[in-house]
Structure 1
Amino acid sequence: MSKLGELLSTTREQGGVTYDRITQDTRISEDILKMLEEGKYCDMPSYIHAHNFVRTYAKYLGIDAEIVDDLFHAECCRDDFSRGFSCVTSPVTQEEVPRRSSLRIVIPLIVVLILGITGAYLYISIVKNGDSEVQSSQQAPVGSNAGGPVEEDAEPEPKPESGESAVMADNESASEGTELADEQVQATETVEEAEPVVEETAEAEPEDTVQETPPEAPEALDDEEKAALSGNKVVLRFADTCWVHMDVDGAEEYDFIAEKNSDRVVTFNEYFVMDVGNASVVTVSHKSRDIRGLGGFRKPAKDLRFTVNDEGKLVYEKLN
């Protein structure tokens, strides 16, 4: 067993101090306290974390700092720690932040483009079919009427012998011209009647395909979903490794070591209080607002109380 760990454990037992009391006063979790008493310093994230935890624990128990430093340096050195970092505890649920994919934009654009091309092709086909029908209906009566006068013109006209015969010839030609005009008017009316039929058919198709969808009843939301809609959810981003202690709504407390370039999602109802070992590496994001610069470089910040004001913005204050 480690001499320094044995000294810490013996002093705590002689003073009759429990782990819960030490955790409440020093903000060091019970797991870390047991690791210090067992001399498992290499299980800490770094040499600095181990040294700081030992000094804080020894100072709380009233042990001389020089004795603690001598024993610690004899049992632990910087070379015992690897470059990797391990998380001691992870009480806060970590959710992946959704990332927008370019496929969500490209695929709808392709679908809209295909539908537009298909619609244009169908429209052009309908217009061409309608024009061909109109042209065929216009050409049929003109050809039949043109045949009569040609044959009549081919026959030699007899010379009028008297004034009465000339008047009768004029009356016959006038009646024939009237019949030709009537036939042309009837053909024009047939064409005009045929065009609205095509338009009515084209307009009637969307009415059959339109279907009204009845509105769906809203689903009931649980407490977590209501909290998410009210905006009481923040994302903690850590630019470097540091220890964190949190008190959420006065009901839950957490101690953990945050890894470098990691994100943590915290959901709360009214407030949460946070203590961090390196205040300069922490960024608190709420909706479109980021709060950073909570303290100096490599300096701890304690009793930072975060809450949402009446305007829906995240604000914080230092309690002590």
Structure 2
Amino acid sequence: MKLDKKTFVARVLLIVLCMCIATLCYVRMNQSYDALARYPYVNDENRDILLKYLDSDDINYIINQQIEPGQFMDFIECEGFDIHNTLLYSSAKKSQEEDNQTIVNFVNRYRSHFSLKSLPNLLKYYSYTDLITFYETEWILNEDISLVSDLSNPFVILGLKYTIYKYQPETVSFQNIQIRQVCVEDLNAMCEDYKKVMGKDLTFECGYENYETILNQYNSFRESYPEQAHLYMSTAGQNELQYGYSLIVSGLSEWIVQNLEKEEGQEISYVNEETIEWLEDNAYRYGFVIRFPQGKEEITNKEYNPYFLRYVGKKNAKKMFKSNLCMEEMEFSDL
């Protein structure tokens, strides 16, 4: 049926009117829509700031994840704030106090290096500055190395894959060295029994050493013996002397030089050989083990070193001694 002109115009106007009404309704609905209607923690105090800094996707995220304002409001006005990192921001703040912008920058830049579970441990033992320096220097040079996050474990094994970077444990003085308090009672008993049997004092070259000292020593040692240095010593962060449970008996330095400079076929004798024999047979009774024992060189990646003792507790040391195990092979129980 052919429409006359007046009817056609009327229908066009009706369609246009309907479209205008629909558009007006849509605008009015948008104006009245409350993006925070499903967020149970919104109130008059935080509504405006939430709407200012969060878009609809962000709001949906905090609703779906049930994130409360107290977990992110301290950071929401910081440059670079990302609601998806908010639990990491909050965890970092609780673990180690720092200004909010620094925390946001730190988490945003280095979040691939830690998880919500590991971050509190890292910040319990390392400063923000140390972590940033590690990620920007050590890790860039060696991406295969990992930072030890749980430093409450007395049996941490360092080396090529793990580092404690600049971590500094609490130590106490014993004779001329520094060592962890937990080692002192057994170490003192070992020294007393050694003197009764051997008629002389058991002496030490060093115990705990800090990062800078070890780094200088290692670099100097490597300059003299570039090919063999790593077989007798580890660099800073990877050297177990830095962890505080280890000590070196007097005579090591001289013995290493003898080893490295001996002529082919030449036999060398141990410095303080009687002391070394006594320790090999008795150190385990006091909770100490030879950290780099003979016959385990391929496992420890170090040459046999009878002067380097590590405290593991009497129960563990006895098991290691009886079963001829090194630390890399051992399943430890508590000290």
TM-score for both structures, normalised by structure 1: 0.20
Structure showing the higher strand proportion among its residues: 1
Larger RCO: 1 or 2 (CA < 8 Å, sep 6+): 1
TM-score for both structures, normalised by structure 2: 0.20
